[in-house]
Amino acid sequence: MSRNLFRAYCRKNGDATPPVVPAQTLLLAFEESGILHDDKRLSKFFAALKKAPAELTESQFESLLEISPTLVEQVLTKQLAIPQFQDFCGHIADIFAEVEENRGGTLANYIPQLEKVDPEKFAVSVCTVDGQRFNLGDAEDYFCVQSCSKPITYCLALEARGEEEVHKYVGAEPSGKTFNELTLNSKSQPHNPMINAGAIMCGALLKSESLDASARFDYVMKQWRECAGQEKVGFDNAVYLSERQTADRNFALAYFMREKKAFPPGVDLLDALEFYFQCCSIEITTRAMSIVAATLANGGNCPLTGQQVFKPNHVKNCLSLMSSCGMYDFSGEFAFRVGIPAKSGVSGAIMLVVPNVAGFAIWSPRLDELGNSVRGVHFCRRLVETFKFHTFDSTLGLLDQRIDPRRNLYESRLSGVVAFCFAAAEGDVGEMRRLVAKGVSPDQADYDGRTALHLAASEGKLEAVKYLLDLHVNRASLDRWGNTALDDARRQGHQGVIALLSES
């Protein structure tokens, strides 16, 4: 494989010297793939690349690759969750710019800390299941997670007690009522773990006998950091104190559950409430929260560390409940229109999980009357208008014109050499590189004797022609009508290509 990779990325400085791969070309390939320079999986690789000469010989290239062969090969052959990552990010940036204009909604005002946040704040971050990342807007700002803590608390309860035991105490049905409604289901249990009563219950189920309150909080923070690929996750003490002070409804819910004997034996009600307030007060950036979402998208395995934080079955349970109950009283409508598991919090955060593809975190503090971020919901709607991310989009088949970023653009439509010719005609050098790296011969012709060079020349794709000439393809090759690539360029009047192909 490394031979093909070298061939795909090399350049010849003249016939007398052996081909080399410019270090800059490699850096660019990583940048374009969305694998960022602070990615811990590649810290040794990037350190070596920094120290490497500007142009790498084949053996230098090979030893560099040996540092992290699997991931580097994945990047250089574009075998990542979203292969055309730059195009994808371009669409996300367009949606972001459009949604930023939306100034609808009002700030949450039940605690001063949420009321005094700058309402203009807006951030979107995405992390794919292969760790490709993209951050926009205020992605480094911290905000409290509020109800976005509920999926994680639920996963932790499942890890501690197992599905059967947890669901002896909490249901799996949307409540049809507001998130803090004083109500239980017909078995006197909270309706589900995504509303307040259910989250208080899940907290109570979490290692309550084996850990004291401080050890339990340390454990939860550790788990959050593991989900976030060891990014910083903080705690906002002022929010915590305010939550505690204004918590009449949550106290009422807990006493109601105690009256109905909903808690397992031995649960201390005040301790369970304290823990719930602490979880709401965890603070994070969208940059880190998108990694948490990606860990859920990846079946509980953090894409940036490879650590299995939660069991896949538990993540499946959690995503199912996020789908049906994650967006307050808008959950049914959201499942219908957007069709992606999500959880929203009153701080204006939304954690969105596209299973097996990517996690998103969106933060914009102005809320609609149901408590969801106005821009957040707007962003999610535009996301599925652009991409085939709705859970049931696969039923639409070819009629659907929206983008499926999971696809390898040309390879799925055609294969091998035809895919290469197609990419050449489009001037898509990145895709051409990927196909050469996979072993496609750049000289090969189709049924009509048309080579990639013929197609790139006909279409005036200068960069593609340059790339093919760097690969030393046969520029004299004739198609079935007896024409060379230069003949094609002349016929179409592509002056730049004519000049290139006429050079000896």
199, 247, 251, 254, 278 from 274: Cα distances, Å = 12, 10, 10, 11, 6
Q: How far is the CB of 125 from ligand GLU (least distance, A)?
A: 19
Tell me if 346 contacts ligand GLU by CB under 6 A: yes
Q: Cβ 190 to ligand GLU, closest distance in Å?
A: 13
150 is catalytic: yes
- Which of 25, 57, 102, 180: binder of ligand GLU (CB under 6 A)? 180
Handedness of CA 134, 135, 140, 142 (dihedral sign): negative
Backbone angles phi, psi at 56, to 5 degrees: -100, 130
Among 45, 46, 179, 387, binds ligand GLU (CB under 6 A): 179
Closest to ligand GLU by CB, 151 vs 345, is: 345
Nearest to 289 by CA among 351, 344, 341: 351
147 flagged as catalytic? yes
CA distance 211 to 218: 10
Q: Which of 99, 129, 150, 417 is catalytic?
A: 150
The backbone torsions φ and ψ at residue 456, rounded to the nearest 5 degrees and listed phi first, read -65, -40
Q: Which is nearer to ligand GLU, 147 or 484 (CB)?
A: 147
Catalytic pick among 2, 125, 147, 208: 147
Alpha-carbon distance 132 to 45, whole Å? 16
Which x/- pattern over 370-399 shows residues binding ligand GLU (rule: CB under 6 A)? ------------------------------
SS3 174: coil
146 near ligand GLU (CB under 6 A): yes
Find the shortest distance in angstroms from Cβ 250 to ligand GLU: 5
Q: In the complex, what is the shortest distance from the CB of residue 40 to ligand GLU, in angstroms, rounded to a whole number?
A: 31
Q: Is 325 in the site for ligand GLU (CB under 6 A)?
A: no
CB of 154 to ligand GLU, least distance (A): 14
Residue 336 buriedness (CB in 10 A; 0-12 / 13-18 / 19+): exposed
Nearer Cβ to ligand GLU (250/451): 250
Residue with Cβ nearer ligand GLU (286 or 451) = 286
Active-site hit among 233, 292, 346, 353: 346
Q: Single out the catalytic residue among 276, 323, 436, 458.
A: 276
| C-alpha angle 334-85-352 in degrees, rounded to nearest 5 | 20
Binder among 345, 355, 430, 460 for ligand GLU (CB under 6 A): 345
**Measured from the CB of residue 276, what is the shortest distance to ligand GLU in angstroms?**
7
Binding mask 243-272 for ligand GLU (x = CB under 6 A): x------x----------------------
Q: How far is it, in rounded angstroms, from Cα 377 to Cα 383? A: 10
Q: What's the min distance (Å) between Cβ of 373 and ligand GLU?
A: 11
Which one, 159 or 181, has the nearer CB to ligand GLU? 181
Asked if 275 is part of the footprint of ligand GLU (rule: CB under 6 A), the reply reads no
Residue from 487, 488, 454 nearest 473 by CA: 454
Q: Is 190 in the site for ligand GLU (CB under 6 A)?
A: no
Per-residue string for binding with ligand GLU, 15-44, x by CB under 6 A? ------------------------------
Q: Which amino acid is at 258?
A: R
Total number of residues binding ligand GLU (CB under 6 A)? 10
CA distance 440 to 450: 15
Give least dist CB 152 to ligand GLU, A.
13
Task: Supply the minimum distance, in Å, between the C-beta of residue 218 and ligand GLU.
Answer: 21
Q: In this structure, what token pair is assigned to residue 27?
A: 């850096």
Nearer Cβ to ligand GLU (68/242): 242
Give the residue with the Cβ less far from ligand GLU, 78 or 150: 150
Contact 442, 452 (CB under 8 A): yes
Helix, strand, or coil (residue 250): helix
Instruction: Spell out the residues 6+ positions from residue 158 whose beta carbon is closer than 8 angstroms to its own.
Output: 166, 310, 311, 314, 317, 318
Q: Which positions from 276 through 295 interact with ligand GLU, judged by CB under 6 A?
A: 280
Q: Which is nearer to ligand GLU, 23 or 325 (CB)?
A: 325
Can 276 be counted among the known catalytic residues? yes
Q: What letter would DSSP give residue 399?
A: G
Nearest Cα residue to 257 out of 172, 325, 162, 185: 185
Residue 344 phi, psi (nearest 5): -115, 155
Burial of 44 (0-12, 13-18, 19+ CB in 10 A): exposed
Residues in the chain: 504
CB of 222 to ligand GLU, least distance (A): 22
* Interface with ligand GLU, residue 196, by CB under 6 A: yes
Residue type, 244: R
Three-state SS string over 351-373 comes to: EEEECCCEEEEEECCCECCCCCE
Q: What would you measure as the largest C-alpha separation in the chain, in angstroms?
A: 90
* Closest to ligand GLU by CB, 146 or 484: 146
Q: Which residues contact 228 (CB under 8 A, 6 or more apart)?
A: 284, 288, 289, 291, 292, 295, 302
Nearer to ligand GLU, 190 or 345 (CB): 345
200 binds ligand GLU (CB under 6 A): no
Q: CB neighbours (10 Å) of residue 171? A: 21
Encoded tokens for 384:
């599925």
Q: Which residues are catalytic?
A: 147, 150, 276, 328, 346
Q: Which residues bind ligand GLU (CB under 6 A)?
A: 146-147, 179-180, 196, 243, 250, 280, 345-346
